[in-house]
Structure 1
Amino acid sequence: MTATTIFETADLRVAEFRCQAGPADIPYTETHGSFSMAFVRQGSFGYRYRGRLFDLVAGSVLLGQPGDDYICTHEHHECGDACLIFRLSPALAEMVGGSEAVWQAGALAPQSGIMVLGALAEAVAEGKSELGFDEIGLMFTAAIARHISGKARPAVTARAQDRARITEAAAWIEAHATEEVDLARVAEVARLSPFHFLRLFARIAGVTPHQYLIGARLRAAAGLLAGSDRAITDIAYDVGFGDLSNFVRSFHRAARISPRRFRQQAQGRLGRNARKNLQDSLPPSFVG
């Protein structure tokens, strides 16, 4: 595993983690050294934490707090995954999360709004956005804390074979998100009946296959909006949306701003009100 620190202050450190472990590698116990939220950029892996097992796919978020042991597993996952991890000081973690339940939640299933913010964080990491790491770090971690807010994602008990099928299906959806994808097609990939696949995917991934598909498309769109000047209509069609109005509605519902405003904010094109949407995403303690 390689870790590259790309931003660091006394309260916030951002790093990129890349892991090449696979089924043949023996997992080992590690210990969280800080409050952390890690956005899964690509790949998938298992996460054993506080007696629970989570399967994380692209768009998921891993959480942990100092002193807690955890194990990352790859028994049924392809080699190779990457995360963008935010490590917070105790003071910042208290301001952002507050509730201990947030840091003990273990994992957050892929959510469209979080995936859009994750794409923006990726754009910042790649130098494609004018936002600073301190800004996106606060936006991202505060949004996750608000979303969890005491309702931790329950761990799932499922056969290894079923977990493997679902993580493979999630990877397939992300790889084919620009195409016409329906339930029957993905269920066939997973070698399950559509009804059984739908129930199993929702249980293990935490969202339905369609919700994951929309999130994958919005994440791709957010990256293109932040890092290019391509027409919004072209982006909508290229990432898999059938019409512009559907894309705009879906994006606004997830990000709470329009694609145009998102691009302006990401590329630093707004004037004195440039931080309004950013401030709206933060808890009062950061904007008072």
Structure 2
Amino acid sequence: MAKIALDLERALARRARDAAVGAPERRIVARGRGWTVSDVLCTCGPGDRAFEERHDAFCIALVAAGAFEYRSDAGRALMTPGAVMLGNAGECFECGHRHRAGDRCIAFHYRPEYFERLFADAGGACRAASFAAARIEPSRALAPFVAAAGTGVSAPFGVAWDEMALALAVCVVQHIDGVPSSDAKRVPCLPRAALARVVDTARWIDEAPDADLGVQRLAEHAGLSPYHFLRTFERATGVTPHQYVLRVRLRIAAQRLADAPDKIVDVALDCGFADLSNFNRAFRAEFGVTPRAYRGRWQL
């Protein structure tokens, strides 16, 4: 299990041991003029009541571990590892854990005046600075940010957080502007039982990404036919089961390359890839560099 997910599991175990009330814990990782980065670890679970909060700044939160339901004025969405949660300054929101305890996010907050200038510079000047969606599904465009931020919270002095905060906001603005507003605001309406099955299956993938996770086996785990499982999973998460599995494996591999001296071939095999060549191709397609070059960035 990747260190960032292991930290969450330990926090949940402490909560259970102490019979404590679940709550989010925020640790400031870095800050600058107009932006802040926080490591947010939440131990809330199905027995904790969700309550309404308010974004005091524009928020782009990278989901690193766990899962939760998010509701804002822009829509409602299931947040899973690799997804990006969006929030507008002054907007009310609610996070709930009806089906799974705990989550961990690396949250980037931007003061309104800073974000509005950045929004205009990124090409969004034709409309007011705002996010028209509650979530960006796990995507190739944002995968490098999720992996780097997840690794960086354990070694904050090795990350250029100011550059990441700027580049992430630009990437998100351009990504959202490329999605028609009707698609951006679409809310997947799933029965509670179906959503619970997706959350449980996603957790199984997160905990054992190196297992044989074909759609038939995942569907059997969820108790659905392959056809209905495929449709339900994609509606809830925004990606297919295969894409979800692949990105879990690649994020864990990226964290191991940065944190451990293991041979690249061992990392590939341990993370569920059949051979080194397939791993190299998938890694480069996702992160834009080879595994060796990615490791080199963290060993400077």
Q: TM-score when scaled to structure 1?
A: 0.86
Unaligned ranges ≥5, structure 1: 269-288
Q: Which residue of 2 aligns with 1:282?
A: none
Q: TM-score when scaled to structure 2?
A: 0.83
1:64 alignment partner, one of 87, 92, 116: 87
Task: Give distance in 2, aligned partners of 1:190 and 1:95.
Answer: 46
Kept after mapping to 2: 8 A contact 1:3/1:16: yes
2:111 alignment partner, one of 68, 71, 89: 89
How far residue 265 of structure 1 moved from its aligned partner, in angstroms, is: 2.2
Task: Give distance in 2, aligned partners of 1:266 and 1:201.
Answer: 34
Task: Give distance in 1, aligned partners of 2:61 and 2:222.
Answer: 27
1:20 alignment partner, one of 25, 39, 43: 43
How far residue 255 of structure 1 moved from its aligned partner, in angstroms, is: 1.2
How far residue 137 of structure 1 moved from its aligned partner, in angstroms, is: 2.5
Q: Deviations over 1:40-90 (max 9, x none)?
A: 121111111116221111221100111111111222x22211111011133
Amino acid in the other structure paired with 1:260: R
Superposition CA RMSD, Å: 2.0
Q: Which residue of 1 aligns with 2:213?
A: 181
- Cα 1:219–1:97 change in 2 (3 A) is farther
Q: Which residue of 1 aligns with 2:249?
A: 217
Q: Which residue of 1 aligns with 2:202?
A: 170
Q: Deviations over 1:237-285 (max 9, x none)?
A: 11111111111111111112222222222333xxxxxxxxxxxxxxxxx
- 1:117 equivalent in alignment to 2:145: yes
Q: Which residue of 2 aligns with 1:149?
A: 177
Identity of aligned residues (%): 33
- Cα 1:172–1:13 change in 2 (3 A) is same
Amino acid in the other structure paired with 2:67: S
Q: 180-189 or 133-142: which moved more?
A: 133-142
- Cα 1:70–1:179 change in 2 (3 A) is same
Q: Which residue of 2 aligns with 1:103?
A: 131
Task: Give distance in 1, aligned partners of 2:51 and 2:156.
Answer: 36
How far residue 93 of structure 1 moved from its aligned partner, in angstroms, is: 2.3
Q: 194-203 or 107-116: which moved more?
A: 107-116
- Cα 1:241–1:92 change in 2 (3 A) is farther
How far residue 6 of structure 1 moved from its aligned partner, in angstroms, is: 1.4
Task: Give distance in 1, aligned partners of 2:286 and 2:221.
Answer: 28
**Count of aligned positions:** 267
Q: Which residue of 2 aligns with 1:281?
A: none
- What SS does the corresponding residue of 2:64 show, helix, strand or coil? strand
Task: Give distance in 1, aligned partners of 2:287 and 2:167.
Answer: 11
- What SS does the corresponding residue of 1:241 show, helix, strand or coil? coil
Kept after mapping to 2: 8 A contact 1:166/1:190: yes
Mapping of 1:255-274 within 5 angstroms?
255-268=287-300
Kept after mapping to 1: 8 A contact 2:116/2:129: no
Task: Give distance in 2, aligned partners of 1:118 and 1:150.
Answer: 20
Amino acid in the other structure paired with 2:109: R
Task: Give distance in 2, aligned partners of 1:266 and 1:71.
Answer: 36
- 1:140 equivalent in alignment to 2:168: yes
Unaligned ranges ≥5, structure 2: 1-23
Kept after mapping to 2: 8 A contact 1:40/1:83: yes
How far residue 168 of structure 1 moved from its aligned partner, in angstroms, is: 1.3
Kept after mapping to 2: 8 A contact 1:64/1:104: no
- 1:160 equivalent in alignment to 2:197: no
Q: 145-154 or 16-25: which moved more?
A: 145-154
